[in-house]
Chains A and B, each alone.
Chain A
Amino acid sequence: MGCSRVLEADMTDLLLKADGLCKHFGALQVCNNLHLGVEKGELHGLIGPNGAGKTTVLNLISGLLTPDDGKLFLAGCDISRTSVHHRARLGLARAFQVTSLFNSSTVLENLSMAVQAHQGKGFHFWSNAARDRQILEPASAVMERMGLADRGNIPAGSLSHGERRQLEMGMALATQPAMLLLDEPMAGLGPGGSLKLSELISDLKGEITILLVEHDMQAVFSLADRISVLVQGEVVATDTPDAIRKNKLVQEAYLGGT
């Protein structure tokens, strides 16, 4: 496999391409011949009714699940059978729906882990990680960007729900990914928190390719360049937000005709 980390120079049109992905859990077909293309630099929304398989798609992309059939390409390189950590090294970062942090570690330590992962510093047995400036500086920069600058020494487990979301996104960001997979970042946030996170995401827009799964329709339609609609494990439409709004098929299947 000649896969290498995705660089700016790789001018492939599609950064991520899913080609006929299938996945079933027992008798339940969660993903059914799914085709999805995410262009480089775009913010691609993925919406669909409950149980449409949105999180499963993200799990397949990040490698936590293996597809039964179909292929997955990152910048033209087949990653269908690549391990989770290898995909991360190739430039795929993931923020989870249920925040997945190191709860007893501080905010700064959490981000440091992510930076350390990006720098490939793992098998360093002797130097003190807490004093590594090469790690601390980028970690602090992400902390600031995520609006957590004054929370550095607080354990992740003691943060508020909204702050945990911010940190979750910061963790993904700190690995300097080519592509960011965001799984319902606004879920469970109040209006204020939602707004703050929307701002953070739109701030990243153009800089990183983002695949955004979100229930908050208003947010998706205002943020996304293009939107794919997932119904029963199949992408039924991919288009601009305006076109998706007018799409009859989508209205029937998902928006309930409104």
Chain B
Amino acid sequence: MINRKAVINVLGLLIFLLLPPLTQLFGQEYLLSLFSRILIYGLAAASLDLILGYGGMVSLGHAVFMGIGGYSVGILAFHSYESTAFMSWPLLISGTENALLVWPVAVLAAAFFGLVTGAICLRTKGMHFIMITLAFAQMAYYFFVSLSTYGGSDGLSLYNRNTMPLFDLGSDVTFYYLCLGILLVFLLMGHRLMQSHFGRVISGCRENEQRVQVLGFASYRYKLACYTFAAAAAGLAGALLANQGEFVSPGLMHWTKSGEIMVMVLLGGMGTLTGPVLGAATLLLMEDFLAMYTEHWMVILGPFLIVVVLFAKRGLYGLLTGAGGRHD
């Protein structure tokens, strides 16, 4: 029998590959921006899955890394338009719109914030961990709300997307395929990572951290490395999102956004990596579709979510691949 999971994955990939020509065929090009957002949120949700689903670290502040990634794009672009420097001491950093510079900055900034806050958060467990990740995220949120230079609570608008050699990011189709490529690379990397020796230790921490320590692993370092990696990926998602919408605001890192990403992970299937992408697609499509009929679309989405979480252990992805089943 052919592996059902492989069939689902290939089918999913085919659909994503064919979406741009299909939207053109049906003259629904405007949908492409929605599909791009699905890919970007899929990246963010998959990165959260690394720490939530595999590592058992329930973070309610994951959106903050998206926000930092997004603001890296926004702030550097802002200084580029104004022809001013972001900072002049100790080294001169001027604004830029070059994606090859800006995106790595976004990734590094998010990773750094993840490393510093993670070093503190990971000293706690369970409910305390949830609360402290939330607290850090809200701190960052209010920090950016109060930054009036960069638009405060109104956020920053970009005149156009970042530039990149060979790729015209201004074209929605190119941008879509770039997002898809980045997401695929991340999924492959995440998959390898979670099957590696490192991934074994991370999964072990979720199941029985004391045992991991008694065996001789410094679990804290492993979790911090995983947390930082997830933060970096979310930072990249933020940079992409800022480019996609040509806009960035503190709302991107509000805790409701973190909750939304967590819902995507739960809906798609925790600890599956590909599941959260499906979760992102389901949530965003339902949101878009239901909002056409009623402004109270949450009334339908809520119960749907409860049913999935209650009856499918590994979310929608688990249902599709047959690895699901009910909770024990």
What A residues does B200 contact at CB under 8 A?
A: 109, 112-113, 116, 129
Q: From residue 198 to 227 of chain B, which have CB atoms closer than 8 A to chain A? A: 198-201, 203-204, 207-208, 210-219, 222, 225
A85 → B minimal CB distance (Å) = 5
Of B70-78, B135-143, B188-196, B237-245, the segment with at least 4 beta carbons within 8 Å of chain A is: B188-196
**In the bound complex, do residue B208 and residue A102 qualify as a contact, i.e. CB atoms below 8 Å apart?**
yes
What A residues does B217 contact at CB under 8 A?
A: 85, 117, 122
Of B197, B214, B218, the contact of A62 (CB 8 Å cutoff): B214
Q: From residue 2 to 20 of chain A, which have CB atoms closer than 8 A to chain B? A: none
**In the bound complex, do residue A124 and residue B210 qualify as a contact, i.e. CB atoms below 8 Å apart?**
no
Q: In the complex, which of the residues A85, A89, A103, A112 has the most CB atoms of chain B within 10 Å of its own CB atom? A: A85
On whether A123 and B225 interact (CB within 8 A), knowing A100-B208, A113-B204, A116-B200, the answer reads: yes
Q: Give CA–CA (A94, B211) in the complex, Å.
A: 9
Q: Can you list, as one digit per residue, whether each of A91-129 has a CB less than 8 Å from chain B (1) or not (0)?
A: 001100000111111000100111011100111111111
What B residues does A64 contact at CB under 8 A?
A: 210, 214
What A residues does B218 contact at CB under 8 A?
A: 83, 85-86
Q: Give CA–CA (A244, B192) in the complex, Å.
A: 56
Number of A-B residue pairs with CB-CB distance less than 8 Å in the complex they form = 92
**In the bound complex, do residue A105 and residue B210 qualify as a contact, i.e. CB atoms below 8 Å apart?**
no
- Looking across the interface, which residue of chain B has its beta carbon closest to that of A120? B216
On whether A103 and B207 interact (CB within 8 A), knowing A125-B198, A126-B192, the answer reads: yes
**In the bound complex, do residue B211 and residue A127 qualify as a contact, i.e. CB atoms below 8 Å apart?**
no
Chain B count of residues within 8 A CB distance of the other chain: 25
Chain A count of residues within 8 A CB distance of the other chain: 36
Q: Is A130 an interface residue (CB 8 A)?
A: yes
**In the bound complex, do residue A129 and residue B195 qualify as a contact, i.e. CB atoms below 8 Å apart?**
yes
**In the bound complex, do residue A88 and residue B214 qualify as a contact, i.e. CB atoms below 8 Å apart?**
yes
B242 → A minimal CB distance (Å) = 28
What A residues does B201 contact at CB under 8 A?
A: 113, 116, 122
A92 → B minimal CB distance (Å) = 9
Q: Is A132 an interface residue (CB 8 A)?
A: yes
Of B192, B208, B216, the contact of A175 (CB 8 Å cutoff): B216
On whether A129 and B210 interact (CB within 8 A), knowing A85-B216, A122-B222, the answer reads: no
Q: Is A141 an interface residue (CB 8 A)?
A: no
A181 → B minimal CB distance (Å) = 9
Q: Give CA–CA (A198, B23) in the complex, Å.
A: 70
Of A100, A104, A113, the contact of B210 (CB 8 Å cutoff): A100
What B residues does A186 contact at CB under 8 A?
A: none
Q: Is A171 an interface residue (CB 8 A)?
A: yes
**In the bound complex, do residue A122 and residue B211 qualify as a contact, i.e. CB atoms below 8 Å apart?**
no
Q: Give CA–CA (A64, B214) in the complex, Å.
A: 9
Of B207, B208, B216, the contact of A88 (CB 8 Å cutoff): B216
Of A86, A117, A125, the contact of B193 (CB 8 Å cutoff): A125
Q: Using a CB–CB distance below 8 Å, which chain A residues touch chain B?
A: 62, 64, 83-86, 88-89, 93-94, 100-105, 109, 112-114, 116-118, 121-130, 132, 171, 175
Q: Using a CB–CB distance below 8 Å, which chain B residues touch chain A?
A: 192-193, 195-201, 203-204, 207-208, 210-219, 222, 225
Sampled A-B contacts (8; CB under 8 Å):
A84-B213, A86-B216, A88-B215, A102-B207, A113-B212, A113-B215, A127-B196, A175-B216
Name the 5 nearest CB pairs between A and B, nearest first: A88-B216, A117-B215, A124-B197, A117-B216, A84-B213
